Chain A
Amino acid sequence: MTQRNTLAMQDNTILYFCNLSYNGYQDSFLDTIDTTQPGSKFMMNLAKRFRPTRFVTRNGEWSLPWNQDLIPKYAMPKYDPSFKLSFAEVTDLEAIKIKNRISQGEQFAVTYSGGIDSTVIVAALIKNLSLKELESVYVYASVNSIIEHPVFWEQFIFNKFKVIDSNRYKMHDLIDMGLTPIIADEGDAIFGTMIGISLYNNYDVLSEGLSAGVKENLKQIRNKISSNEVHYSRYKDLIIKHLSLPNNTEFGRLLYEKYDHNIKTASVPVHSLHDFFWWLIFNVKYLNCSVRAALYFNDRIDFKQAVYKIENWYNAENYQLWSMVNNNNGSKIGSTVISYKTIARDYIYELDKNDWYRKYKLKLESLNFIVGRQNVSNIEINKRPTARIALTNQYDMLYVDNLQVQTFLKNKIENYSIDWTQ
């Protein structure tokens, strides 16, 4: 992997992201950061509340301690309220693009977890490619992929696709094999985040302890999480409590207000509670998902090359445009958790006619099940994924053990001011 041997951190160094994370390896550095100032305290609390924290805005204001830029590949398309393509049409179009690239000699490896997002991709390819063309598609999966959706594996993947073990081979291996990885990491961004799902699952518990008036209001709007009738601000107390750290609702309030400020300064409508959490991942947390494969599941390929080599299926412009105009119409979620990604379930059902999966499939944290146990002990400890703390806009990876990096980040974080609320 090419990287400049001497990396000089300047005060005006621009980052594509910084990933402060209490992951067991960064902890000792993070604990040296002075949190007496509200800004630095906020950033450290963010690192405690979320893991990882590659939070970067694509639209609207979201200040950070350092100079921030956005990887061009992940820029948000301009909101187009007249966008009319259906999810199925968008999906089929993406599959046709792959078909065309296969005709040019390219081969692909689809990261398949058995979850809804990656099953859509495989279903789309099966639907739109010929048997001959499908020979150019590998399925990159683990035993957990089979466990998550064994019926689909048996009917559509086993003995029909060549399979590559995702626990054994990493992204750089796929690229070295001459394959273009296709990942589904932005699937949640298109539909809305697990942070929202976990609030819906704990709605009643979170409502406890709130004032009687607030509780009654929340009870009335419980089934309107994805409704144009109810603005997310009516759930404010619930959201704050959900975003808070234990015994620290002040952090929850600050974070809510930061998101609220971002929404108010963005050019995309965000209205309901589900919109709020959708926007969280579609905007600020988007990069968190997008860069994982290229920068954390890859140890050999130049980082910039990896970013642009890997095919982020749901990063396609059409998907993002679809996502922006399909809020609160039942496509993303109904009134229950089990209805999450309704439209994607319907797409899969067209192929497999599996009622159980369509009606009852639960959202799981699938990614960790398919790549979480990739062993990186062959890499120098201070270059392992847990040590990768930031990326500059020159695609230089910054490692937490580097003293210059530590000084840079410490200085930035400790001088960060809260600029979005009173």
Chain B
Amino acid sequence: MTPFIDRVYQQRFGIYSVGFDRFVLVDNKDVWVMLETAEILSSKISTVVYIIPNDSSDLTSANCTEFSLLDKRSQKTATTPLLFSALTPSLRTLLDNSLIRTDNTVPDEVTEYTKFVYLHCFALNFTEAIAKYDENAKFSKKYLDNDWISTLTINDTRDSLDGGLYFQIRKILYLSNSIIEAEEKINSLWFNHSGEQRWVRDLYFKIINKEQPESFKDIKNDPTKYTGYAG
């Protein structure tokens, strides 16, 4: 494609915590899922997502919490001496030889929650893209003039949740204080609101590689709820 795009996708991506002055996550799979992860984490920590040059060959996802930025002067915000950080995380590039290896200052709860959110962001994105059949909420907002759709019903996921299932899961991840709390709330959401979209639930749990709770066997499906079921 273009030199910029080709170069980006040859590199890795990392979530850098401004407060800890360390990376909390590094991976090469998907920069957009990583950015979304950083957005969700922003309720707890300020971060920046960096495109990391390949010269940092000893940087891995396992040891990323030992890595910091060598010269933060290039990362300051405008004319202030503050390290670049914004209310909502953005994507930035790093030059070669920008990193330095040092000690780990990132608490485990931060890295664990980061990885948990990252996994669920993959699940959300894949599920949204694969499982949707007649959902048009995201598409409409992206491509249709608001005046065109203001008087029409937007179809989100097949539940009665405000903003739909995916939004509610993101909200849980955004506002929960721990993995345990988030998991309990997410499971409760699935239990109470996935009766008419079992295929969505099944796919989601497959992606996060977890067995569905035993109680999910009691989830009721209403095959009569919509006209379309009659054909």
Contact = CB atoms under 8 A, between A and B. Distances in A.
A complexed with B:
yes
Contacts of A25: 223-224, 229
A224 B231 CA distance: 32
A160 to B, nearest CB: 12
B74 to A, nearest CB: 44
B152 A163 contact: yes
Interface residues of A, number: 39
7 contacts: A141-B152, A142-B153, A158-B148, A167-B153, A167-B155, A292-B231, A384-B224
B211 to A, nearest CB: 25
B140 A147 contact: yes
A375 to B, nearest CB: 6
B228 interface: yes
Nearest to A380: B224
B5 interface: no
Interface in B194-231: 221-231
A385 B226 CA distance: 8
A368 B231 CA distance: 8
Contacts of B139: 147
B224 A163 contact: no
Contacts of B230: 21, 23, 52, 296, 384-386, 388
A163 B134 CA distance: 20
Most chain A beta-carbon neighbours within 10 Å: one of B149, B225, B229, B231: B231
A111 interface: no
A369 B227 contact: no
Contact of B226 (A158, A292, A369, A372): A372
Contacts of B143: 147, 150
A323 interface: no
Given A51-B231, A167-B153, A374 B226 contact: yes
Contacts of A51: 231
Interface in A23-52: 23-25, 51-52
B227 A371 contact: yes
Given A296-B231, A386-B229, A386-B230, A146 B149 contact: yes
A376 interface: yes
Given A51-B231, A150-B143, A296-B231, A381 B224 contact: yes
B134 A372 contact: yes
A373 B231 contact: no
A158 B228 CA distance: 26
A387 B151 CA distance: 31
Contacts of B153: 142-143, 165, 167-168, 373
B228 A368 contact: yes
Interface residues on B, range: 20 to 34
B154 to A, nearest CB: 6
A387 B224 contact: yes
A95 to B, nearest CB: 25
B166 to A, nearest CB: 17
A144 interface: yes
Contacts of A163: 151-152
B96 interface: no
Contacts of A144: 134, 136, 155
Contacts of B155: 142-144, 167, 373
B147 interface: yes
Interface of A: 21, 23-25, 51-52, 141-144, 146-147, 150, 153-154, 158, 163, 165, 167-168, 170, 292, 296-297, 368-369, 371-377, 381, 384-388
B87 interface: no
Nearest to A298: B227
Going nearest first, the 7 A-B pairs with the smallest beta carbon separation are: A24-B223, A372-B228, A385-B230, A167-B153, A374-B227, A52-B231, A384-B224
B140 A143 contact: yes
Given A163-B151, A163-B152, A376 B221 contact: no
Contacts of B222: 377
A153 B134 contact: no
Given A372-B227, A385-B230, 16 more contacts: A24-B229, A25-B223, A142-B153, A143-B152, A143-B153, A144-B134, A146-B149, A146-B152, A150-B143, A165-B153, A369-B134, A372-B226, A372-B228, A373-B134, A373-B228, A386-B224
Contacts of A150: 143-144
B136 A143 contact: yes
Contacts of A296: 227, 230-231
Contacts of B158: 373
Interface string B51-69: 0000000000000000000
B35 to A, nearest CB: 26
A377 B225 contact: yes
A142 B148 CA distance: 10
A379 to B, nearest CB: 9
Contacts of B229: 23-25, 385-386
A368 B134 contact: yes
Contacts of A381: 224
A374 B152 contact: no
Given A158-B147, A386-B223, A371 B228 contact: yes
B135 to A, nearest CB: 10
Contacts of B227: 170, 296-297, 371-376, 385
A292 B231 CA distance: 8
A158 B146 CA distance: 12
Contacts of B149: 143, 146
B87 to A, nearest CB: 31
A168 B76 CA distance: 52
A412 to B, nearest CB: 22
